[in-house]
Chains A and B, each alone.
Chain A
Amino acid sequence: MNIVPTIGMETHVELKTNSKMFCRCNVAETEKPNENLCPTCIGLPGSLPVPNKKAIEYITLLALSTNCAITNDGMFHRKNYFYPDLPKNYQISQFDLPVGTDGSLEIVVDGEFGTVEIERVHMEEDTGKSTHIGSGRIDSATSTHLDFNRAGIPLVEVVTKPLIKSSKEAVAYIEELRQLVIDLNISEGKLEKGNLRFDANISVAYENADELGTKVEIKNMNSLKSLEKAIEYEISRQTKMLKNEEIIIQETRHWDEKKEVTSSMRSKEGSADYRYFSDPDIPNMILDEDFVADIKKDMPLLPSDKRNTFIESGLSIEDANSLGKSATWIGELYNSVSNITKDSKVSFNWITGELQGQLRKLEKATPPNWLNPENLSEIISLVKSDKISFTSGKEILSKLIDEKINPEEYAVANKLIQENDTEEISKMVKEVLDENEEVIERISNGEQKLIGFLVGQVIKLSNGKVNPSVAKELLLKEIEQ
């Protein structure tokens, strides 16, 4: 009997507004701790929260782009618990009336389309940052230091339904969500900066079971790689336990990056009682039809829109997906170049393979501004039409990155134009064969690799101009005779 995993993802997206969610303190990163504070974000007596309009526009945009139903008459709730990085010892969040519900996100896994169902999208505020001083481990710290610069930054929490079936799917989902928030221009989406933080809820059960297994929450995965590894590890841990009929405890586990295992965190007695109640400092959040229509009107192109356009241009789902997740300039360049060359696959390969590869070696993030769709297409066409070899094409590209040149002129000037004329090449082939009778003997006796030598001789004779595949073809023809 098969044991199947079930995964649900909870992701926090940091919105890139100018000010915090409930006060007008700056959200920009600073070197100094506790630099951007006011009575509200450090919970001084008498302070009050006033919600950020832009943040609400951004979350509505996210909810709409994931096909969620929008809650027209929602509210903020207080989530009550005590922790020193939480200035009021309650977090203003949303409980049963979140901004968006029942949405979905199209993803690509292994070159195929898939869908992740989204349970809810809600608004909340971030906490401050705590640093444990001491040996570095929480349980042997001697004190905790607190910086509240981050306290109050707007966060959107996106929760999927527990319907994800594999670590690959989970990773593809996070990649898609990240691209979405970047394309919507509501978040920087940088994992390493904590713009996107995620926890995974994992359970396993026998294939025919009526219910899902006990779910375990995994925290502290800081990259897509660790997400994948952590899910795999946890699935395997739970599967083993299920097979041995051991009881899986509902708990929160911590992913240990070094040891590559999940481990139990200090267990709390029972589940937390957050005593949610609607925040009396904030009246109902009415998002009426006009407001929602305005947001919809200004919706930018989504990753799925771009992906579909790329697919329609001739790319595979896999290629279209990875193109959509590259930097914007790459997709834009592809669009223009493939329009000119009329060959999507070749354009894709040249841009994502050769161009990006060369830029990476030079540690450049973007090509120079004189490199445009026209001159790049020129190089591609020269190679495609066999006027120059692929190697020559790479050389011209390298030059173009370095300085402003005209590819065709450069090819001519540097004698890179290939000889393709069959008659001309035949003459040279005959000449080479005449001078290499012993080699012909040896080839006839089975030393096939000496063909390469002969091709080389033809190339030499032509001063590198001959099209090697044509030469080879003609040589073989002649030899057979």
Chain B
Amino acid sequence: MDHYKLPISDINKLFKDKKLKPSELYTEVFERTASTESIIHGHLSLFQEENIKKATDADERFLKGDELGVLDGIPVAIKDNINITGYATTCSSQMLSNYISPYDATVISKLKEEGVIFTGKTNLDEFAMGSSTENSAFGPTKNPWDPSRVPGGSSGGSAAVVSAGSAIASLGSDTGGSIRQPASFCGVVGFKPTYGTVSRYGLVAFASSLDQIGPITNNVSDAKILYNSIRGHDRFDATSLKDVNVKQPKLEKAKIGIIKELMEDGISEDAKSEVHKVSKLLESQGHEIIEVSLPLTKMSISIYYLIAPAECSANLSRFDGVRYGNRVNGNTSYEMMEATRAEGFGPEVKKRILLGTYALSAGYYDAFYGQALKARSMMKKEFTETFEQVDYLISPTTPSDPFKFGEKSDNQLEMYMSDLCTIPANLVGMPAISIPTGLSSSGLPLSVQIMSPSNTDNTLLDFAQNLESEVSFDALPQIQGDGE
């Protein structure tokens, strides 16, 4: 029997009951990888050699009854912008193709303590900038549901490998939707936690006030397990929250708001009907559905595409070939930096750096970046006020089902619009989860997104889990060359 689509808690029970060994699970997952990687190209690197020993070590622990926890022996894939000591962290960029990290991200240290087995590092849009993984310097990842379509981005690799069964779960990062959108495109669950609940130390920064690491999993219960093992205050991250006690939304007879502005132009009929379908299910569960209006969400793209590039233009300044990276020489150090960055960065990264530099430069700050910050504060107010009337908010995760390769690469604004529904959660800091709920008329996965107030993550996960069981989405991708 195949185990790679089972929930983690079920797998853990099989390990404890000695009906399955971690090394057996690992072999299964690795065989999935072997048979699908050539099509999917989800992993950039695989840690096969040392994992064999890690898996047998886990076998020992379970045999002795010494197991570390529910995640012990579970193969998890890691997006290649999260640092693991001794392994490459390339961020899918030529700039870092030779960079070997000398330190662990905090989330990695935590997972190491749990006995997690890292399958390897997964593909992404270069430096997490993109919505399709087409911007990777090492070739795109293909959507397991249809290899002519994108898996989404920027955590395309992480979503694809979970969908394909090459990992039980994965970690991605989300700045404007980079966990949720690829999760939606690949028909799996993606969760972006409240900003500050998961440490960013060791995550290569794209936009510091927006980035969060989060889980991509086969089901909500796995997302909950993974989230709780990586969250917590970290003294190495000044933006890391200490535990905050806030009023939690209701799990029963909850009020759920459909965001009007995210059900209008630009959203496909398929996506809209998923939300309506789910709303009916929620009503049947005893919840109340109302329509809410959040006018500033219409400005989301503008606000985001000013704040994110501004922050990233400074965050990526450190890539200059001085202390690490693929250096291209020059007569002076400035010339060396210029040439190194010209060769190391792809076009989308260059574009965003220049956009951000421009937005911050003298004379433009007030009209652009300053204005975006003000709008962000106002947007936050809008959401806070709305959450006084509702417990949760619901919207499509993406405007449409997965698009084909090359379909949006020539139209930058259309590409940026892919993030319309997901950006607000990053701007406001609130938690958001995407769960697959059905298939489009083309047979491709569709998802809905649920959001709740900041610091209500576990309640949101519980709510989503209840919805998930009602929805009962059990479709799986048929990958070419699959033995089934």
Contacts and interface: CB of A to CB of B under 8 A. Distances in A.
| Direct A/B contact, Cβ within 8 angstroms | yes
Interface in B95-122: 96, 99, 101-103, 105
Interface string B190-225: 000000000011111101110000000000000000
A277 B313 CA distance: 11
A283 B314 contact: no
Interface in B69-108: 81-83, 89, 91, 96, 99, 101-103, 105
Contact of B105 (A46, A49, A90): A46
A31 B112 CA distance: 36
A88 B318 contact: yes
B362 A273 contact: yes
A78 B204 CA distance: 18
B386 interface: no
- The A interface, classified by DSSP as helix, strand, loop or mixed, is loop
A124 to B, nearest CB: 15
B334 interface: yes
Contacts of A88: 314, 317-318
A146 interface: yes
B369 interface: yes
B339 to A, nearest CB: 13
A446 interface: no
A136 interface: no
Interface in A19-40: 39
Contact of A90 (B83, B314, B361): B314
A87 B321 CA distance: 11
B370 to A, nearest CB: 9
A87 B236 CA distance: 18
A481 B318 CA distance: 95
A45 B334 contact: no
Contacts of B448: none
Given A50-B238, A80-B317, A277-B310, A45 B96 contact: yes
A82 B357 CA distance: 13
B323 interface: yes
A327 interface: no
Nearest to A281: B208
B109 to A, nearest CB: 13
Interface string A84-96: 1001111000000
Interface string A35-55: 000010011111111110000
B324 interface: yes
Interface string A281-307: 111000000000000000000000000
B305 interface: no
Interface residues of A, number: 31
B239 interface: yes
B298 interface: no
A44 B102 contact: yes
B242 interface: no
Interface residues of B, number: 45
Nearest to A88: B318
A80 B235 contact: no
A48 B322 contact: no
Contact of B83 (A45, A80, A148): A45
Given A50-B237, A82-B334, A280-B311, A89 B324 contact: no
A275 B322 contact: no
Interface string B234-268: 01111100000000000000000000000000000
Contacts of B200: 46, 48
Interface string B296-323: 0000000000000011011001111011
A280 B376 CA distance: 14
B201 A47 contact: yes
B82 A46 contact: yes
A49 B101 CA distance: 18
A50 B83 contact: no
B354 to A, nearest CB: 12
Nearest to A23: B236
A197 B94 CA distance: 40
B333 interface: yes
A18 interface: no
Given A80-B314, A273-B362, A277-B369, A45 B204 contact: yes
Contacts of B319: 45
Contacts of A275: 314, 357, 360-362, 365
A280 B318 contact: no
Given A82-B337, A282-B238, A283-B238, A87 B103 contact: no
A46 B238 contact: no
Contacts of B83: 45-46
Interface string A70-109: 0000000010101110011110000000000000000000
Contacts of A82: 317, 320, 334, 337
A89 B317 contact: yes
A311 to B, nearest CB: 46
Interface in A113-135: none
Contacts of B310: 277
A281 B334 CA distance: 26
A185 interface: no
A46 B201 contact: yes
A45 B314 contact: no
A144 interface: yes
Contacts of B323: 42-44, 87, 148
B333 A144 contact: yes
Contacts of B357: 275
B239 A46 contact: no
Contacts of B361: 273, 275
Interface in B156-209: 200-205, 207-209
B318 A48 contact: no
A89 B333 contact: no
Contacts of A83: 333
Contacts of B311: 280
A48 B102 CA distance: 15
Nearest to A49: B238
A380 to B, nearest CB: 57
Contacts of A280: 207-209, 239, 311
Contacts of A48: 200-201, 205, 236-239
Q: Which of B102, B317, B319 gathers most chain A CB within 10 Å?
A: B317
B318 A46 contact: no
B239 A283 contact: yes
B236 A46 contact: no
A43 B207 CA distance: 16
Contacts of A144: 333
B229 to A, nearest CB: 19
A49 B318 CA distance: 14
A173 B208 CA distance: 41
B203 A46 contact: yes
Q: Sort A-B residue pairs by CB-CB distance and give the 4 closest, nearest first.
A: A89-B317, A280-B208, A280-B209, A275-B360
Interface of A: 39, 42-51, 78, 80, 82-84, 87-90, 144, 146, 148, 273, 275, 277, 279-283
29 contacts: A39-B102, A39-B103, A42-B323, A44-B103, A45-B81, A45-B91, A46-B201, A46-B202, A47-B201, A48-B200, A48-B237, A51-B238, A82-B317, A82-B320, A84-B320, A84-B322, A84-B337, A89-B318, A89-B320, A146-B322, A273-B362, A277-B314, A280-B208, A280-B239, A281-B208, A281-B238, A281-B239, A282-B238, A283-B239
Given A45-B101, A84-B337, 15 more contacts: A42-B323, A46-B89, A46-B103, A46-B105, A46-B200, A48-B239, A82-B334, A82-B337, A84-B322, A87-B323, A144-B333, A275-B314, A277-B365, A282-B238, A282-B239
Interface of B: 81-83, 89, 91, 96, 99, 101-103, 105, 200-205, 207-209, 235-239, 310-311, 313-314, 317-320, 322-324, 333-334, 337, 357, 360-362, 365, 369
